[in-house]
Structure formats: C-alpha cells, structure tokens
C-alpha cells in the first residue's frame, strides 16, 4: 500500500461522507435541534431526579454544565454513529460498499477511513452545539474546547466502529430500525449521559452497574472531564479497548470469507 494511494482514498471517502451529510438537510437539522430540545426542555425535568429541584436560577447552569451538556454531546455522536451504520447497510444493498471493499487497498484501511470520515463530519456540529449551550450559561474554560477534541474524536471513533460492526450483522435494511430501538435507547438511558453515577447507585445498584459496564458511559465521562481540563484515565482505557474490539468485529463482519458476505453467498 503506497501512502499517496491511501491518502487519496481517505480524501475521497471523507469528501463523499461530508457531501452526503451536508446534502441531507433533514438529518443535518435534526443533529443540532435534537440536543437543543433536550437541553432547553427535558433537562429541566431532571433537576428533581438529581435532587436539584429547588435551586436558585443563577445556579441552574451547574446542572446543564456538569451533567446534561456533555451527555448530549455524546448523544450526538451516538445517533450519528447509528445513522452512519444505516447508510452502510444501504450502501451494501446498493452495491457501493462492495465496490469500495474491492479497491486495491487493505480492508482495515478502507473501513477505518469510513469511520474516521464519519467522525470528522459530525465534530463541527458537536462544537456548534457546545457553543450554543453558552446561551444556557454553560461556559467551560476556553482550553476545554481544545482538550475535548481528542475525547470527542475517540468517542466518535468508538461509536462509529460499534455502528460499523452492527451494520455487518444486519442482513436487511428493513430490520435496522428495530435493531436501533433495541440498541441505541438502552445504551443511551443506561449510561451516565443524563445522571451521575453516584445518583444511580443510590437509586438502583443494578442500573448503576449496567451504566458502568456501558462503553457509552465512559465516552461521556471522557468528554465531561476533558471539557474541564481533566483526564479520566479509566474512561480513556475503556474507550480505546472498546474501539479496537468493535473495529476487529467489523473487520470480521466484512470479511468476504467469514462475515456477512460469506452468509450471503451461502444463501
């Protein structure tokens, strides 16, 4: 594999994904409107859940800043990763995925480039949400936005690899909506995206245990700490290992001799 060929393939895949994302105006609008709706409306209801139902108005930013906003940033990455996996299933049924994988480049590079392109595509939208959150008095340190970039990138790569692995296991496009309901919502709600772990432990140790084992919780914690210039080492290790595990599973799923392609040939 020559470097110039690999970089050309990466640039082509990134350009295709960005044009696709920008061209889907409904998806682009939903990506930014969804977390703003949660921030502006639903977050108010979580004050009582967190034991913060009676607080002065000037302190409401604590709720949004510490718990809700980083969790909603993670939610954007989660939904984008699942929607990207949906596009992978569509590309596979239309045949463009097969054309991509027959390129004279290693499969791991092509699939990795697809995940990286999807992650870099959504990052500007996540930062737009973080900037809009300043209207809710959510104002982390200026360097926190810079420190959060590696955390957001790693979280996006992990969730993108998870979506890629999931897409390799789905055989029909019609089944994807049901699979998303059984995956994306439990992963989101059984996490620390909206509730602190200590509060979950007080309410239900079982749910707290599920949240701790949920890789998405560690992605949220990594983002949450990075925004305030702190490193959560456990979350970093978990996200890194989960990214590798999901990517290996995706490579197996898209292996012509073993994964989806082998099952399709057998059928």
For residue 216, what pLDDT band results from cuts at 50, 70 and 90? very high
Which residues, including other chains, have CB under 8 Å from residue 261's CB and lie 6 or more apart?
254, 255
Helices 233-253/215-226 angle, 10° precision: 130
The highest-confidence range among 25-39, 77-91, 131-145, by mean pLDDT, is 131-145
Q: Which of 6-10, 48-52, 73-77, 94-98 has the lowest mean pLDDT?
A: 48-52
Q: With 0.85 as the threshold, say if the pTM is over it.
A: no
For residue 64, what pLDDT band results from cuts at 50, 70 and 90? low
Q: What number of H helices and E strands is found in the chain? A: 14, 0
To 10 degrees, the CA torsion angle through 198, 163, 253, 87?
A: 170
For residue 252, what pLDDT band results from cuts at 50, 70 and 90? confident
Tokens 């703003």 correspond to 36
CA-wise closest residue to 162 among 178, 147, 184: 184
Mean pLDDT of the chain: 79
For residue 158, what pLDDT band results from cuts at 50, 70 and 90? very high
């Amino acid at each position: 594999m020559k470097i110039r060929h690999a970089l050309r393939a990466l640039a082509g895949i990134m350009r295709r994904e960005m044009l696709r994302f920008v061209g889907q105006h409904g998806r682009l609008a939903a990506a930014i409107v969804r977390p703003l709706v949660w921030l502006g409306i639903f977050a108010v209801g979580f004050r009582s859940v967190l034991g913060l139902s009676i607080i002065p108005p000037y302190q409401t930013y604590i709720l949004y800043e510490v718990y809700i906003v980083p969790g909603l940033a993670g939610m954007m990455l989660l939904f984008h990763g699942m929607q990207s996996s949906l596009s992978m299933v569509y590309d596979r049924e239309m045949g463009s995925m097969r054309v991509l994988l027959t390129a004279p480049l290693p499969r791991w590079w092509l699939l990795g480039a697809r995940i990286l392109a999807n992650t870099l595509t959504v990052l500007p939208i996540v930062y737009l949400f973080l900037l809009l959150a300043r209207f809710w008095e959510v104002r982390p340190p200026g360097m926190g936005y810079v420190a959060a970039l590696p955390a957001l990138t790693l979280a996006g790569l992990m969730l993108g690899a998870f979506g890629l692995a999931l897409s390799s296991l789905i055989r029909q496009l019609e089944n994807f909506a049901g699979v998303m309901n059984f995956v994306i919502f439990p992963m989101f709600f059984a996490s620390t995206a909206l509730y602190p772990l200590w509060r979950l432990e007080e309410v239900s140790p079982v749910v707290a245990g599920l949240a701790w084992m949920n890789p998405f919780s560690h992605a949220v914690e990594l983002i949450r700490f990075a925004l305030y210039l702190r490193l959560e080492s456990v979350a970093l290790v978990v996200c890194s290992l989960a990214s590798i595990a999901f990517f290996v599973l995706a490579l197996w799923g898209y292996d012509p001799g073993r994964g989806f392609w082998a099952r399709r040939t057998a059928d």
